[in-house]
Structure 1
Amino acid sequence: MSPVSANAKPSLFSPLNLQARSLAWKAAAVAIGTVVLALASYIEVPLVPVPVNMQTLAVTLIGALYGWRLGGLTVVAWLIEAAMGLPVLSGGAAGAHHFVGPTAGYLFAFPLVAAMTGFLAEKGWNGTRPLLAFVSMLAGNALCLALGGAWLAVVIGFDAALQAGVLPFVLGGALKSALAAALLLAFSRATPNRAA
């Protein structure tokens, strides 16, 4: 082994360093992530047809902290729990019918959002670069609104979907993106030798 490779610091994107953990650790992280997502779903402001809650904050953070593979898998596991009837969706909702209703587009967008923010975090858009982390989170929220709004437009029409399912969430998405970036920065500063 050369001196350069012996002294090289591994390129870690997350202070959790899950990519170096055992399968048991990763399984536990998925279980914890689904609980976090469920808890975030209970923090909501009830609007019709799509409530405002902290799901996108949790989805983007899980992606950024877990990486694109494990983050996406965690969100899929949470959605499976919901489809099986566990009360893990917004306000404790559950059941497979949510995957064909007005919120279906947002639900199906969530694994893609987690994967995207995880991919960007692995490329350096993480807590060590707060501005890029914010842009990543903002892109995740925008993707969720675009896909969710597109499905909602099929259900209730374009203008109604824009007014009810996209525009009311733009400011909240920006605020949640800033909060997520700040949390990533805090995690990274708390463990500066773990994230790069």
Structure 2
Amino acid sequence: MTDAPEKHLSTDSAAAAAVHPAPVVRSSVATDVALVSTFAAFIAVCAILPGIPTPSGVPITLQTFGVVLAGLVLGWRRGALAVLLYLVVGLAGVPVFADGTGGLVVLTKPSVGYLLAFPFAAAVAGLLAGRALRLTGALRYLALVGAGLGASFLTIHPAGIVGLMARLGVSFGEAFAIDVVYWPGDLVKNLLAAAVALAVFRAFPDLLRSRR
């Protein structure tokens, strides 16, 4: 006599579980939001730290370090979302760009090409890092450095040169000469980003399995 209610409750519970598997999804979404938000804030901190002024008006900052690190650690999708969130907040007027600036006025500056390329750089770094992380030891580190440099030179520098040409009215050769100034710093920042990414993965191994 007691079996029927128990079976009925068991059936109802199973049906409810099938219809509402949301707790796992909510947890995953919450993790994604937290990571994206954290890295967006980290990029903002990197940007507002005092930069090195240059004659072109585009200062040397740690922005690209934060952008590449987001891609290496989070993967291409979440890395790009973190950078997009950073850009949206800055363009909305929050002073999170270099020199403590914000708002749509930054789109009129010589740095516009570099800035708009950042989400693509994070995505490329994340895609290339996916292959790099299959390696071990020193090869993994070197491959992560290559992923960061590849992202920089495939997206940030070409777009930066176009932005310099458009905003400063200079030729390609002149814009290229301005852009070369940033290459040594980018090399150092990518060496550092790869080292930090490896340290993060050692401290939080789950990130290796959840990159996307």
TM over 0.5, shorter chain: yes
Question: Cα distance 1:163–1:63, how it changes in 2: closer, same or farther (>3 A)?
Answer: same
Find out whether 1:170 has 2:177 as its counterpart.
no
**Is the CA contact 1:188–1:194 (under 8 Å) kept in the aligned structure 2?**
yes
- Deviation above 6 Å: which 4+ runs of structure 1? none
Equivalent-residue separation in structure 2 for 1:127 and 1:45 (angstroms):
35
Q: 1:147 aligns with which of 133, 146, 159?
A: 159
Of 173, 179, 182 in structure 2, the residue corresponding to residue 159 of structure 1 is 173
Give the structure 2 partner of residue 182 of structure 1. 195
Superposed CA offset, 1:17-74 (max 9, x none): xxxx611121122221111011000221122321000000000000111111111111
Q: TM-score, normalised by structure 1?
A: 0.82
The sequence identity of aligned pairs, in percent, is: 32
Q: Is the aligned partner of 1:31 residue 2:37?
A: yes
SS in 2 for 1:36: helix
Aligned residue pairs: how many?
177
Aligned: 1:65 with 2:77: no
Runs of at least 5 residues in structure 2 that lack an aligned partner in the other structure: 1-26
Q: Mark the structure with the bigger radius of gyration.
A: 2
Gaps of 5+ in 1: 1-20
Letter in 2 for 1:105: G
What is the identity, as a one-letter code, of the residue corresponding to 2:195?
Answer: A
Residue aligning to 2:131: 123
Tell me if the contact between 1:127 and 1:185 (Cα under 8 Å) persists in the aligned partners.
no
Give the secondary-structure state (helix, strand or coil) at the position aligned to 1:49. Answer: coil
Residue 161 of structure 1 aligns with an amino acid whose one-letter code is: A
Q: CA RMSD in A?
A: 2.3
TM (norm. structure 2) is: 0.76
Higher relative contact order (CA closer than 8 Å, sequence separation 6+)? 1
Q: Which of the pair is proportionally richer in helix?
A: 2
